[in-house]
Structure 1
Amino acid sequence: MHRFFVSPAQLAEDEGELSGELHHQLTRVLRLAAGEEILLLDGAGLGCRCRIETLTKNVIRFRVLARAREAEPAFAVRLIQGLPKADKMDLILQKGTELGVAAFTPLEAGRSVPRLDEARRLARGRRWEKVVLEAARQCRRSYLPRLAAPCCLPEALVGDEELRLVLWEEESRPLAEVLPAVAPHGAAVLVGPEGGLEAREVEAARAAGFIPVAFGPRILRTETAGFAVIAILQYLYGDLGPAGKADLPAPSSKEST
């Protein structure tokens, strides 16, 4: 069944409308017809199995047939990513979403090459939102990751994650030494841009509760390092391990209120 994210307001009632880009995708790309069913999600765990009732030139009317809500993943990982060159951030957002990252914090680090003015911030923000949305739809996530605006280090370090890691190849402990035996209440992973983090940035992160860790004998690219650590954390504590949860099933009954 085709899955699409919509605003929570569009699923508040048992009937609703779709227009704009989603209307184009359903009618022109997928060529769906009246009577066919789709799964609409609000990005916060609610999935609604819906039937297309009518299609006009600009509007699709649908009816909600069933509702189901998936519990929020118990283990949340936030990726604080130093802004890389070119379009590497698109890849990081896409693959991070597939790996179950709960929140992205783009970081304007000291060695970040892109320096974004307000117009470029807005343009990139819109593109990044689309990348995350499409990646979440493709990998069948029911929760959309939170995407913050690019920020400086002091703002990026604010958080209450129990496990806080900063990847740094100098004077760092091996990752395996700092991983707790019991699943922590959330984790944050700080990754520098090309060229890595500056020593002063690592010290600021350390003061905020981050543990500098090294990741094996090889130096990984900025677009690879976060994925590697997040995959390990998700396997040990999250839904990629033996106790991982299944995808949201197609709902079969109305959600209780």
Structure 2
Amino acid sequence: MHRFFLHPEAFGDNETILPDDVVHHLKTVLRLAVGDELLLLDGLGSLYHCRLKTLGKHAATALILKCWSEQETALPVQLIQSLPKGDKMDLVLQKGTELGITSFSPVVSERGIPQPSDDRRSKRHQRWQKIIQEASRQSRRPVLPRLDEVQPLVRVLTDCNANLRLMLWEEECLPLSAALPEAPPSSVAILVGPEGGFSDKEAALARQHNFQPVRIGPRILRSETAGFAVASILQYTYGDLGYREP
């Protein structure tokens, strides 16, 4: 069944109004018609089995047949990602969402790229939200990952309350496996630096906020690759990637 995310306020008691972008996809891509059924999600865990009631050129409504809730099965992982160059953050958001990352916190670091103007920043955030939404739809996640505004590194480190906090740092000798506890942590934060890596000052700041510096192995991964490489390991070790159907 085709799935689409809508804003939670779009859902009424018995029916919902579909936004323009969903209407366009229904008509021009999927070529659905009145009476066809689809699954609508509010991004918070509620799912709505619906039937198309009306389908016009720019507007459509769907009748709600059934509603239920689902919870995430992935290990809660916050990815604190220093802004990479170009559009590499798009890949981080897409693949990170597929791998079960529950929140993305992009940060500005000493060797990272500077922030754009307010207008470009707003458009970029909207594009990032769409990437997360599409990746969540494709990977069949019931809850949309949280996307924070870009913030200074120190602010995100101060606000982090994850149970296990890892900083990926190529100058550290402690392997990732040695930093992983036997008992599953309730939540994990992964801190990833920019292309030029963290400065010594930033590494010391992360340590002050209880982040354990680790290295993944003998190879140096790109900034946009490192986060979801470690997320894969964590989801297999503690989350749902290692789950086997009974």
Short-chain TM bin = over 0.9
- 2:176 maps to 1:175: yes
Contact 1:80–1:189 (Cα < 8 Å) also in 2: yes
Contact 1:84–1:113 (Cα < 8 Å) also in 2: yes
- Paired residue type of 2:137: R
After superposition, residues 185-224 of structure 1 pair within 5 angstroms as 185-224=186-225
- The alignment partner of 1:173 has SS state of coil
- The alignment partner of 2:196 has SS state of coil
Shift, 1:44, TM fit: 1.0
- Paired residue type of 1:164: R
**Structure 2 Cα separation of the partners of residues 243 and 210 of structure 1:** 31
Q: Please report the RMSD computed on the Cα atoms of aligned residues, expressed in angstroms.
A: 1.5
Contact 2:74–2:100 (Cα < 8 Å) also in 1: no
Please report the TM-score for the alignment, with normalisation by the length of structure 1: 0.91
Shift, 1:180, TM fit: 0.5
**5+ residue gaps, structure 1:** 246-257
Please report the TM-score for the alignment, with normalisation by the length of structure 2: 0.95
Match of residue 94 from structure 2? 94
**Structure 1 Cα separation of the partners of residues 245 and 99 of structure 2:** 12
Structure 1 segments of 4+ aligned residues over 3 angstroms from their partners: none
After superposition, residues 209-248 of structure 1 pair within 5 angstroms as 209-242=210-243
Shift, 1:21, TM fit: 1.3
Greater shift, 168-177 or 113-122, is seen at 113-122
- 2:66 maps to 1:66: yes
- The alignment partner of 1:164 has SS state of strand
Match of residue 156 from structure 2? 156
Match of residue 144 from structure 1? 144
After superposition, residues 16-95 of structure 1 pair within 5 angstroms as 16-73=16-73, 75-95=75-95
Contact 1:238–1:244 (Cα < 8 Å) also in 2: no
**Structure 1 Cα separation of the partners of residues 108 and 245 of structure 2:** 34
Contact 1:84–1:114 (Cα < 8 Å) also in 2: no
- Paired residue type of 2:188: A
**5+ residue gaps, structure 2:** none
Per the alignment, do residues 207 and 172 of structure 1 end up closer, same or farther by CA in structure 2, a change over 3 Å counting?
A: farther
The number of aligned residues is: 245
Shift, 1:14, TM fit: 1.3
C-alpha offsets along residues 45-92 of structure 1, whole Å, 9 cap, x if unaligned? Answer: 111110001212222111111112112336200000010000000000
Match of residue 116 from structure 2? 116
- The alignment partner of 2:128 has SS state of helix
Contact 1:85–1:114 (Cα < 8 Å) also in 2: no
**Structure 2 Cα separation of the partners of residues 179 and 48 of structure 1:** 38
**Structure 1 Cα separation of the partners of residues 245 and 47 of structure 2:** 19
**Structure 2 Cα separation of the partners of residues 7 and 115 of structure 1:** 28
